[in-house]
Chain A
Amino acid sequence: MIWDALTLQLGYNATLVTIGAALLGMAAGVGGTFLFLRKRALVSDAISHATLPGVALAFMVMVALGGDGRNLIGLLGGAAISAAAGLLLVSWLSTHTRLAEDAAIGSVLSVFFGFGIVLLTVIQTMSAGQQAGLEGFLLGSTAGMLRNDALVIAGSAAVTLALVLLMRRPLTLASFDPDYAISTGQNVTRTDLAMMGLVLAVTVVGLKIVGLILIVALLIIPPVTARFWTERTDHVVLIAGVLGGLSAYIGAALSAALPNMPTGPIIVLVGFGFFALSLLLAPGRGVVSALLRHSAYQRRVHLRQGLLALAHGQPIYERLTLRLLQTQGWARPDGVATSDGRARAIKALRDETRWHIIRSDPAYEAAASLYDGLTEIETVLTNDQIMEIDSRIDLRGAVPA
């Protein structure tokens, strides 16, 4: 059953929804990257919550005009209008009053959503029979979707994705280096507006699939995940698009195949799974690789200090140091150096003495600044320089044998 869903064999509607979700996921991943790079990820939360009054008002208007109120295009149109109003209010509050953007986001989000709830309760009483499952917009519901609706969603997701891809270059420039973008003559205000327009489009199209509470996850999680794998903007965009598409595709397929699996939460959790894996396993920025780096560093410090202690003939009490020296074959269990260990200890002490000399000589200032107690002196100085320094070593205080 799951396999059928993943290979798109669950019927026409489920296939359309799954493909639509995947397209939407890609558009959200790519569009969200620019939001994330601009550090405005949570603006999308305000936009998505602000759709609710629009959906409810659109329903009421359509019923008042004699329609059935459930026309998806009409509902999404209403959502877009009120989301745009919310977005304008957020930017007005944060530019024209002294409120910070987070307070503006939070107030717009909660007030629009609260007003939407009021309208929903009005709808409940106004026409009990035709309530039409507007609650489905809260958490998304793709079960039993009409063919026309599925077509609308798949089509608009495709259009959104195409728009994001078309505007990729100016968006990348503006979000990565706005000052440079301005200096090349780009109108960054307009680019920002376009970015917000795209986010709005993703939110509105995603309402029916993911729901307005969780759509923000589709815009945030893939870019954050992608950031773990690369340091290049264009790669973040690409990976975020792929991850977003993949999470939405897998999530929508699972939801179609299994009972009691609401689409939105599943998509979000699949995306979070990718995030958690990346947080742990990504090379460079991942937790595991950071831990490995840290313990490798720790080992180097312990070995170095252990060798210096051996060279000075001092006893070693630190257990980890002793164990590391033993596994390297540089010391016996009682803490006495092996011949190999003694040679290395003498080398370590000589290097330390060399470092000491260059650190007290202003002529070597640049090289001396690289001193951290671990760096091999051969990687910093040439052989000639080392010989020059060795000639200055005062042999009277020589190494105890």
Chain B
Amino acid sequence: MNGSEFVPLSLVPMLTGIFVAVACALPGNFLVLRRQALIGDAISHVVLPGIVVAFLLTGVVSTWPMLLGAAGAAIVAVVAIEAVRRLGKIEAGAAMGVIFTAMFAGGVLLLEQSDTSSVHLDVEHALYGNLESLIWLDATGWSSLWDLEALAGLPVELPRMAITLVVVALFIAIFWRPLKISTFDEGFARTIGMQTNLLGLALVIMAAIAAVAAFDAVGSIIVIAMFICPPAAARLMTNRLEHQVGWSVAFAALAAIIGYVLAGYGPLWIGFADSVSAAGMIATVSGLILGITALIGPHRLRGAAAPTA
């Protein structure tokens, strides 16, 4: 594998995969600890009606209206879930199940009813994206990384995902202490005057931003996997939040790299001609990592069976 092949074909999807994985895993740590892991699941389902509505309103498949539509749908979903939970006095899981399935169903129906045959917009795409298609045509080799002309031809998903990662990481870094305190002891956080509700909402919105920015490149499925699997695996490795976040970032990046390589080159090694879905493979690898930590992670047990140190 030399530079002239690797850089145009694999570098961009691999980097995008890593950025997506890390951007989702960071807020995922807090979601898993707060037992809100399935919020990511709900958000990634409602992205579909968001982009369909944005398409129907603008008539074109372009990035910004769709991102806005998806973000709008995510906010509508979060508000609706909360409304159903409070107004109907329904348990959070069930309220989530009602809203995200109904919105997803609405999105599919809108898509089927409208004429989208001329554009590339379908359910499968929203589910598992197309990481492999992020080809950097202008690149000729490693030297292209310093070539401004070639850099201008980078697929737009890569810088977008990099910015998203920076935004998410900044949010986590700036609100580290409040997030940590309110996650582990919400009552205490309230008594020292923290706006825990606002903070919780901000966390969910951050997760939504990561999910919405990611779905276009990689689809929903990898987003859900990255929200949950790396943080869950990291949770089994350590008792300290700082270390957990570190482990989760490492696991997320590892899953993205191994997953992409296995999907792109794995089938060739065992004699198949074509590659398989990179998004699916990255999700699979993250699951394998979780499986390994669930079997041998030093802090995999709870309560009395757990080691004290």
Contact = CB atoms under 8 A, between A and B. Distances in A.
Q: Which of B40, B101, B236, B272 has the most CB of A within 10 A?
A: B101
A107 B300 contact: no
B32 A103 contact: yes
B128 interface: yes
A224 B302 contact: no
Contacts of A67: none
A284 to B, nearest CB: 11
B276 A97 contact: no
26 contacts: A39-B91, A42-B38, A96-B301, A98-B236, A98-B300, A102-B36, A103-B37, A106-B37, A107-B232, A107-B290, A109-B41, A110-B221, A114-B222, A114-B281, A117-B283, A118-B263, A121-B275, A122-B276, A125-B276, A214-B104, A217-B98, A220-B94, A223-B94, A224-B88, A265-B108, A266-B109
A261 B102 CA distance: 15
Interface in A95-146: 96-100, 102-103, 105-118, 120-122, 125, 135, 138-139
Contacts of A117: 127-128, 221, 277, 279-280, 283
B94 A45 contact: no
A41 B229 contact: no
A138 B104 CA distance: 12
A116 B280 CA distance: 7
Contacts of A216: 97, 101
A133 B229 CA distance: 30
Interface string B221-260: 1101101110110011000000000000000000000000
B228 A118 contact: no
**What class of interface size applies to chain B in its complex with A?**
35 or more
Interface string B274-309: 111101111110110010001001011111001000
Interface in B26-81: 32, 35-38, 40-41, 45
B276 A106 contact: no
Given A93-B294, A106-B37, A114 B98 contact: no
A41 B97 contact: yes
B106 interface: yes
Nearest to A106: B228
A265 to B, nearest CB: 4
Given A98-B302, A221-B101, A266-B109, A41 B232 contact: no
A265 B105 contact: yes
A272 B102 contact: yes
Contacts of B263: 118
Residue from A100, A110, A120, A121 whose CB has the most chain B CB atoms within 10 Å: A110
A265 B113 CA distance: 12
Contacts of A260: 112-113
Interface of A: 36, 39-42, 45, 93, 96-100, 102-103, 105-118, 120-122, 125, 135, 138-139, 213-214, 216-217, 220-221, 223-224, 227-228, 260-262, 264-266, 268-269, 272, 275, 279, 285, 287, 290
B112 A97 contact: no
Most chain A beta carbons < 10 A, residue from B281, B284, B303: B284
A260 B110 CA distance: 10
A41 B36 CA distance: 14
B305 to A, nearest CB: 9
B276 to A, nearest CB: 4
B151 interface: no
A268 B102 contact: yes
A45 B277 contact: no
B87 A287 contact: yes
B105 A42 contact: no
A285 B88 CA distance: 7
B93 A39 contact: yes
Contact of B40 (A106, A111, A114, A120): A106
Contacts of B152: none
B96 interface: yes
Contact of B101 (A36, A220, A223): A220
B17 to A, nearest CB: 13
A68 to B, nearest CB: 22
Interface centre among B104, B227, B282 (most CB of A within 10 A): B104
Given A120-B277, A224-B88, A135 B124 contact: yes
B102 A125 contact: no
A220 B97 contact: yes
A339 B229 CA distance: 74
Given A111-B286, A279-B87, 12 more contacts: A98-B301, A98-B306, A112-B287, A115-B287, A117-B221, A118-B276, A121-B274, A261-B112, A265-B112, A268-B102, A272-B98, A272-B102
B172 interface: no
A296 B105 CA distance: 38
Contacts of A102: 35-38, 93
B228 A121 contact: no
B90 interface: yes
A36 B94 contact: yes
Kindly list the 10 A-B residue pairs having the minimum CB-CB distance in the complex, ordered from nearest: A114-B283, A111-B287, A117-B280, A98-B302, A217-B101, A110-B225, A265-B105, A220-B97, A268-B105, A272-B102
